[in-house]
Chains A and B, each alone.
Chain A
Amino acid sequence: MPDLGSLWDIERQATLDALVERADRGDRAALPAVREMFDAVPGVWDWYGNLATIAHNSMVDLVAGKSALTREALQRKIGSMRAELAGRNASPLERLAVDRVLACYLQSYQADVAYTRSLKRPSMSESEHYQRRQDRAAKQYLHALRSLAVVRRLLVPPVQVNVAERQVNIAGGDFHVGTRE
């Protein structure tokens, strides 16, 4: 578990879960409390970062085992994927969404390998367990990618630059070109 000495903790997260659930069901009275929680406790993003670090490290340990070479290769792969997905100016929310994608990517990759290995064992029920886990991990990965796309599309402010007489709006990798009035 992340450092509970920080200002954000698992209980605050549970409170936020409940408030967001209420707001998502249409109770707009819950929204000010949600905003207040984010404003009042800046440590929230560090806490999320810790969650991501724990999940990534555990997954890398699991996949690499005792192989220092595999560990190094995985860490580089994760680093380059993070740079590619998040870029330099990502908001904390985008970074969190990217960290989620990376954790799910590792989990899905590991689940594929574990299932393939389980096929060599005689126990049918064990193989079925690994197959169910593989399916869950793949779904979770797709969900994480979808969530990142939604955050990018709806919450990342578009950048507007003017090139000659044309206005170019850049948002989440999409380019919209229009004539300047």
Chain B
Amino acid sequence: MGWQERSGGRRYYTRSLRREGRVVRQYVGRGDAAEAAAAADRDRRAARDAEREASRLALSRLAEVDRQVAVLCEAAETASRAWLLLGGYQRHDRGQWRLRRA
């Protein structure tokens, strides 16, 4: 996608499109119409990039908050297991907690 220059210094605009699974190059031309098409493509690309960046930031924020919840869960799990073990309980194969026989 972009401006090409021919011998003689004339510039013309083309864009790449996907048609039936193949990438084809579309000739747009020169002049005002080509400038407008180039500007529209530029805006679309900028909007897509901004959306991708926002999505990346949202996912990384979610991952950080999820990590904080996971840390709490692990700590709480360890504390529960510790107190159950201290209380005389045990479990077989990570199953139910039962009172240990003396």
Contact = CB atoms under 8 A, between A and B. Distances in A.
A1 B85 CA distance: 28
Nearest to B86: A35
Interface of A: 13, 16-17, 19-20, 23-24, 26, 31, 34-35, 38, 44, 48, 51-52, 54-55, 58-59, 62, 93, 96-97, 99-100, 103-104, 107, 114, 121, 123, 126, 129, 133, 137, 140, 143-144, 147, 150-151, 154-155
Given A59-B69, A103-B73, A150-B97, A48 B83 contact: no
A34 B55 CA distance: 44
Chain B: interface secondary structure? helix
A97 B77 CA distance: 8
Contacts, number: 103
A171 to B, nearest CB: 14
A20 B87 contact: no
Interface of B: 55, 59, 61-62, 64-66, 68-87, 89-91, 97
A62 B89 contact: no
20 contacts: A13-B78, A24-B81, A24-B90, A51-B68, A51-B71, A55-B72, A58-B64, A58-B68, A59-B65, A62-B61, A97-B76, A97-B80, A100-B72, A103-B73, A107-B65, A107-B69, A140-B73, A143-B73, A147-B77, A154-B97
Contacts of A35: 86
A103 B74 CA distance: 12
Nearest to A101: B76
